Structure 1
Amino acid sequence: MHRVFCGELITDGVNFGPKSLLIDDGKIVSHEEYSPGVRVDSPDIDLTSHAVLPGMIDIHVHGGGGRDLMEGTVEVIEFMSRRLANCGVTAFLSTPLTAPLDAIATCCAAAEDAMKGDLPGARLVGLHLEGPYINLKYKGAQPPEFIRTPDASEFEATFDRWMDLIKVVTLAPEVEGGFDLVKFLSNQGIIASVGHTNATFDEVSRAIDMGARHATHCFCAMRPMHHRDPGTVGAVLARAELKAELIWDNVHVVEPIAKILCQIKGASHVICVSDGTTGAGMPEGYRFELWGHGAIVKNGAARLEEDETTLAGSAIGMDACLRNAESALGLEAATLLCCANPAESLGLQGKLGTLAVGAEADFFGWSRKSRSIVETYIAGRRAPA
């Protein structure tokens, strides 16, 4: 049993000021007051000079630090677990992109094996399959040669073994078979997320009626909004049933648009994601491959070399998303986008993404001065650097 002394305790959109957290067996058992100038001795944790926030949850991340989760091994998941923890992420969804079905299945099997053991950093809480059932017109950086027509029977036959691990599937509902797949996923308790899609407003509304509940990286790789054609984006803005992913790197989506999204939908309906690919955290000019397609980190994002106007995921971590959200909305609201909202979508509210009594002791110190991660803790233990 030990205590964490917080300069500010910020959770669930509220700043509770200076508090100490009592931690027992990896869980938060109480919040307590403490006197200014308190002496903090080991094994207690001194974060009195910093804000303390719930660990962030990244529900859309492909890789980073020069590695790709499509490598399909437990070792790369362990690498990402350590790397993400250094960005303040304490839970994540491994996110395969559009690829051959057997390659996606290999990623699923690796996730299954990784979840049987203890990861060194961030917890792996499932999978987000981004594709392959998407619309060629809005493929973005997804390899076009592996795009498939939505097929609920094929999905079940391929992924039945991992149905409990798959939490989110990005798909284009308007493509033939798409609505049936949305309904199938919903019946399985899997979040159907509209993305890489040319769906009209009415088609998105129909997908919502079938059970769709997310929109993947809102504004990016989807039919835009026009005053005579509200498109996919218009439906995302108008329909409260959908939670919107937001890559808040100020490249994929610039700050004024990100703020408009939050103002229209409300901060509780927006989820920050990194959408980090192999180039995340790598220097400008770093080159890598996305299933045979060259990509480069340039001007703050990953881009396809064959067409640098096509973004290929972000080059940042969730700490940068938090920093940008803090600048625009304040740190309290930012904890909703990065912590509470993804937890709620995954059915993990009260356990992850919060520092409420009874929750897992997953948290990080945040320097108000440098606006950066100080240190990250998972189950009350400091994550390895």
Structure 2
Amino acid sequence: MTADRLALTGARLVLPGGVVEGDRLAVEGDRIAGLGGSATPGDLDLSGYTVVPGFVDLHVHGGGGASYSSGIAEEALQVARTHLEHGTTTTVASTVTGEIDDLARQASVLSELVEDGVLAGIHFEGPFISHNRCGAHRPDLLRDPDPALVRKLVDAARGHARMVTLAPELPGGLDSVRMLADLGVIAAVGHTDSDYAKTLEAIEAGATVATHLFNAMPGIAHRAPGPIVALLEDERVTVELINDGVHLHPSVLDLAYGTAGAARVALITDAMGAAGMGDGLYPLGPLQVEVKDGVARLVEGGAIAGSTLTLDVAFKRAVTVNGLGLNQVVESLSAVPARLLGLADRIGGLEPGKLADLAVVDSATYDLVAVMRHGEWITGGDRFAPIATA
């Protein structure tokens, strides 16, 4: 077996059609070459392990002590590397509210990394959001979603803008949703004070994602269902969920799955710079965040400021805390976001011809043990011994 050809034998494989025990997966170059067949000498023995597609994160701001909003390429590389080591083989870089010109400069830097294959695109979260639901975004920098301003950011991304989060109730909101839909950029409803009716208008205008559903939006009231119900009930909308045990109670995540189903859920991190690090002080755009016991909050005001989550932890929680099936979890962590990004032909599933982006977890504990991207081991590959005989 040459250096650019390998096979994993004996693993549990989570495939689009179901879970297969003790199967074989062959890799050639950067692609999955085949599934099944008999083990051959030199195959890597993955007995006791489960192989899933690499995770796809639609919404992440930072990690490893670095931030995508810094405007510094080296910091962006550090973020991507940190989450890659935790199983995220495809990542979209999310910005935070700032001056329009600053965001445009950040987009220019991040676009180069998209062109280099490090990132899968850019997500602008803010400044087109509600003052009443701004969370960890600076209120004085917020702007109404005037289509001309929104277009300025999209253009600054040089064709690599994947998503814009906005509050559709603000002046220009619905027009911006329509414009984004026409441009092929995901319009996401989030950090919004919208009611049920206005949210339905946004969906009709072309909004297709709910930014971290439940967080930074009105809750459900029995006479005022608000945006949550509108977003959950419409089959055209994919809902982001942060499964870190802080942003959502497990029963709320269960409610979302029970209503929308795994095919409409994208598990995200919304991680800031402390992901993969310890407690301490960290920047989040122009704001300061204190992380204590793994929970990130603004120094001023104490609002939750993103998460310290990585997707391997979200995976384990979904299986062990929420009791979701492996196929459901893989759909939400890989297949659904891959489809949203228009990359389902290349990533998001263990299928021949797709990129060999894999995460390997312990079948008993569901802890991440190894990561492969484009056919190359990133972490953990040296733990698997080749078998001597078939």
**TM-score interval, normalised by the smaller of the two chains:** over 0.9
Instruction: Determine whether 1:295 maps to 2:299.
Output: no
3-state DSSP class of the match of 1:287? strand
3-state DSSP class of the match of 1:18? strand
Of 306, 325, 333 in structure 1, the residue corresponding to residue 328 of structure 2 is 333
Instruction: Determine whether 1:269 maps to 2:264.
Output: yes
Of 340, 346, 358 in structure 2, the residue corresponding to residue 363 of structure 1 is 358
* Number of equivalences: 374
Whole-Å separation in 2 of the counterparts to 1:362 and 1:157:
34
| Shift in Å, 1:13 | 6.7
3-state DSSP class of the match of 1:106? helix
Report what 1:213 is aligned to: 208
Whole-Å separation in 1 of the counterparts to 2:27 and 2:138:
46
| Shift in Å, 1:161 | 4.2
| Shift in Å, 1:281 | 2.4
Structure 1 residues without counterparts, runs of 5 or longer: none
Amino acid at match of 1:312: A
| Shift in Å, 1:222 | 0.8
Whole-Å separation in 2 of the counterparts to 1:199 and 1:299:
33
Whole-Å separation in 2 of the counterparts to 1:11 and 1:133:
39
Instruction: Determine whether 1:313 maps to 2:299.
Output: no
| Shift in Å, 1:292 | 3.7
- Rate the CA distance shift 1:294–1:10 in 2: closer, same or farther, 3 A: same
3-state DSSP class of the match of 1:227? coil
| Shift in Å, 1:5 | 2.1
Q: List per-residue Cα deviations over 1:40-59 (Å, max 9, x = no partner).
A: x2xx4432320000000011
Instruction: Determine whether 1:14 maps to 2:15.
Output: no
Instruction: Determine whether 1:34 maps to 2:38.
Output: yes
- Rate the CA distance shift 1:170–1:13 in 2: closer, same or farther, 3 A: farther
3-state DSSP class of the match of 1:336? helix
Of 2, 7, 19 in structure 1, the residue corresponding to residue 6 of structure 2 is 2
Whole-Å separation in 1 of the counterparts to 2:375 and 2:51:
13
Whole-Å separation in 2 of the counterparts to 1:336 and 1:156:
32
CA contact (8 A) 1:18 1:33 kept: no
- Rate the CA distance shift 1:114–1:45 in 2: closer, same or farther, 3 A: farther
| Shift in Å, 1:163 | 4.9
3-state DSSP class of the match of 2:50? strand
Runs of 4+ residues deviating >3 angstroms: none
Once the two structures are aligned, what percentage of the paired residues are identical?
31
Task: Tell me the TM-score normalized by structure 2.
Answer: 0.92
Structure 2 residues without counterparts, runs of 5 or longer: 381-390
- Rate the CA distance shift 1:345–1:13 in 2: closer, same or farther, 3 A: farther
| Shift in Å, 1:158 | 4.1
Report what 1:50 is aligned to: 49
Task: Tell me the TM-score normalized by structure 1.
Answer: 0.93
Whole-Å separation in 1 of the counterparts to 2:121 and 2:314:
21
Q: List per-residue Cα deviations over 1:106-141 (Å, max 9, x = no partner).
A: 2211122223335xxxx4110111011001100011
Report what 2:115 is aligned to: 116
Whole-Å separation in 2 of the counterparts to 1:355 and 1:5:
14
**Bigger mean CA deviation after superposition, 139-148 or 368-377:** 368-377
Report what 2:385 is aligned to: none
Report what 1:174 is aligned to: 169
Report what 2:134 is aligned to: 139
Whole-Å separation in 1 of the counterparts to 2:376 and 2:286:
40
Of 5, 9, 29 in structure 2, the residue corresponding to residue 25 of structure 1 is 29
3-state DSSP class of the match of 1:95? strand
- Rate the CA distance shift 1:234–1:30 in 2: closer, same or farther, 3 A: same
Whole-Å separation in 2 of the counterparts to 1:163 and 1:260:
38
Of 257, 260, 263 in structure 1, the residue corresponding to residue 255 of structure 2 is 260
3-state DSSP class of the match of 1:199? coil
Whole-Å separation in 2 of the counterparts to 1:146 and 1:208:
26
| Shift in Å, 1:299 | 4.1
CA contact (8 A) 1:163 1:188 kept: no
CA contact (8 A) 2:111 2:122 kept: no
Instruction: Determine whether 1:61 maps to 2:35.
Output: no
| Shift in Å, 1:22 | 1.9
Whole-Å separation in 2 of the counterparts to 1:280 and 1:25:
31
Amino acid at match of 2:6: H
Whole-Å separation in 1 of the counterparts to 2:32 and 2:86:
22
Whole-Å separation in 2 of the counterparts to 1:348 and 1:197:
28
- Rate the CA distance shift 1:350–1:157 in 2: closer, same or farther, 3 A: closer
CA contact (8 A) 2:52 2:358 kept: yes
CA contact (8 A) 1:6 1:51 kept: no
Q: List per-residue Cα deviations over 1:337-375 (Å, max 9, x = no partner).
A: 111111111111131111112111100111123321111
3-state DSSP class of the match of 1:125? coil
Whole-Å separation in 2 of the counterparts to 1:208 and 1:115:
28
- Rate the CA distance shift 1:287–1:156 in 2: closer, same or farther, 3 A: same
Of 302, 325, 341 in structure 2, the residue corresponding to residue 346 of structure 1 is 341
- Rate the CA distance shift 1:6–1:146 in 2: closer, same or farther, 3 A: farther
